[in-house]
């Protein structure tokens, strides 16, 4: 995971936009280029989902520790 001073939104956004040369999908875009672009976008989304899952897991663990301390 990245630096803690970045918000989750910033980290996820950078992962989604991480592939270089993101191209809009136009009617004139070739099939090969379209597939390559969609694969890159999909990989960015997969990384973003993992980042969100890690954040949720850490928040849940922190919450459980707080509940245990209060009990």
Q: Is residue 2 part of a domain?
A: no
Q: Which among 19, 18, 11 has a CA at the least distance from the CA of 53?
A: 11
- pLDDT string in tens for the chain (71-residue length): 455 668 888 888 888 887 766 778 888 989 999 998 899 889 989 999 999 999 999 999 999 999 999 97
Note the pLDDT of residue 1: 45
Residue 1 within any structural domain of the chain: no
* pLDDT at residue 4, rounded to an integer: 60
Instruction: Name the residue range of residue 38's domain.
Output: 8-70
pTM for this one? 0.72
Residue 40 domain flag: yes
C-alpha 67 chain-centroid distance: 29
Considering the domain boundaries, does residue 3 fall inside one?
Answer: no
DSSP state letters, 6-68? S-HHHHHHHHHT-STT-----TTS-HHHHHHHHHHHHHHHHHHHHHHHHHHHHHHHHHHHHHH
Quote the number of domains for the chain.
1
In the prediction, which pLDDT does 21 show?
Answer: 65
């Amino acid at each position: 995971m990245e630096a803690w001073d970045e918000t989750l939104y910033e980290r996820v956004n950078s992962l989604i936009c991480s592939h270089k040369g993101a191209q809009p999908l136009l009617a004139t875009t070739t099939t090969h280029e379209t597939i390559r672009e969609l694969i890159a976008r999909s990989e960015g989304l997969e990384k973003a989902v993992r980042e969100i899952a890690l954040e949720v897991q850490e928040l849940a663990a922190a919450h459980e520790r707080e509940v245990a301390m209060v009990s």
